[in-house]
Chain A
Amino acid sequence: MKSGPGGAWASFAIIKSSDPSPILLLFLGFMEETQREKYTEKEKISVFNNEFLPHINSMYNFGYRLTLDEDDAKDLVQDTYLKSYRFIESFQKGTNAKAWLFRILKNSFINDYRKKSKEPNKVDYQEVESYYNSDDVDRQITTDLRVESLQDMIGDEISNALNSLDVDFRTVIILCDLEGFKYDEMAKILDIPIGTVRSRLHRARNLLKDKLSVYAKKMGYKNP
């Protein structure tokens, strides 16, 4: 699921729809690729209906996993679609609409939602990098979590474990494992280098495993 040939993501601007403060412009994407598409009204509606709206399930799930609140997820999705229509000229025909939408949603989350929420901001990325670099190969290979203990996790354990991760770690798991985005797409959605995507995913998987092994212990599995 690579973005189309040329893979160009246009820069686009987001104007906060609900914010009465001076218009906030965020220039996203690659400044060298600023060409805007020309759409007729009819084309706009067709792109919106045929390329944007079909992703609403994934978008809502992403919004929900970010905010962990159904109403907030609804608002976020609604806001994202409003922006996608308003800035449709920045969407290049033939490129990956889903990744483009995910990027808008993630930016709305950071700019509009996260600011208001009490969720602690940002992981210490320095720490993430050093963790990754000094990580012992054996840690990934030998974990105390066992396949057999996973088989009994039929309730909310997995979902709860995922939700309990810091939002930045949660996000990469969702993008990779639920939505199947590739490194380069995740890098664009999250505005981080590919190396950081890779190390964050690595750390996220280990954290998720740690959570699951706590559940496994509670469920009475003896670890070797």
Chain B
Amino acid sequence: MSRPNPFNDSSGKETTCLEMLQAILDGDATEEQQQYFREHMDKCKPCYKSHELNMQIKQLVKSKCCGSHVPPDLVEKIKSQFNSIS
């Protein structure tokens, strides 16, 4: 009695693990789909492992690639420039 996969669209085609994983990673999954995928990972080791790895990369990208600091004079420069055209 497995419930219908909420990732499936109206085409009736069964959504693959890869497609589910991508929707999750890309932030395109609904609450219901996320819940379904969490339960799916309990039964599907490849999905579990891939999800863990990919989410970690995503986290690392977030923590390591956001650090460029705006030069302090940039806002002032922009403001003065736009004062001169407004």
Q: With a CB–CB cut-off of 8 A, which chain A residues contact B66? A: 61, 178
With A73-B68, A86-B85 known to touch, is A158 a contact of B54 (CB < 8 Å)? no
Stretch of A4-12, A77-85, A92-100, A116-124 on the interface side:
A77-85
Using known A-B contacts A81-B78, A158-B65, A162-B65, determine if residue A208 contacts B57 with beta carbons closer than 8 Å.
Answer: yes
* Chain A residues, CB < 8 A from B62: 177-178
Residue in A74, A135, A142, A159 whose beta carbon sits within 8 Å of that of B65 in the complex: A159
Closest to B77 in A: A78
Q: How many residues of B contact A (CB 8 A)?
A: 37
CB-based contact A201/B26 at 8 Å: yes
Known: A85-B85, A159-B64, A205-B25. A78 touches B53 (CB 8 A): no
Number of A-B contacts (CB under 8 A): 115
Q: Which of A77, A137, A162 contacts B18 (CB 8 A)?
A: A137
CA distance A141 to B49 in the complex (A): 8
Which residues of A are interface residues toward B (Cβ below 8 A)? 41, 44-45, 48, 53, 56-57, 60-61, 64-65, 70, 73-74, 77-78, 81-82, 85-86, 135, 137, 140-143, 145-147, 150, 153, 156, 158-159, 162, 173-174, 176-178, 180, 182-183, 198, 201-202, 205, 208-209, 212
Q: 7 shortest A-B CB distances, which residue pairs?
A: A141-B46, A158-B64, A60-B70, A64-B68, A137-B18, A81-B78, A158-B60
Give complex CA distance A81, B66 in Å.
Answer: 20
B28 within 8 A of A: yes
- Cβ-neighbour of A78 out of B27, B57, B78 (below 8 A): B78
Contact residues in B for A61 (Cβ distance below 8 Å): 65-66, 68
Closest residue of chain A to B45, judged by CB? A141
- Residues of A contacting B85 with CB < 8 Å? 82, 85-86
With A and B bound together, what is the CA distance between A173 and B58 in angstroms?
9
Could you say which residues of chain A place their CB within 8 Å of the CB of B17? 137, 141
Instruction: For the complex, give the distance between the alpha carbons of A184 and B54 in Å.
Output: 22
Q: Can you list 27 residue pairs at the A/B interface with Cβ under 8 Å? A: A44-B86, A53-B78, A56-B74, A60-B69, A61-B65, A61-B68, A64-B68, A65-B65, A65-B68, A70-B68, A70-B71, A74-B71, A77-B78, A137-B17, A153-B60, A158-B60, A158-B61, A158-B64, A159-B65, A162-B61, A177-B58, A178-B62, A178-B66, A182-B27, A182-B28, A201-B26, A205-B54
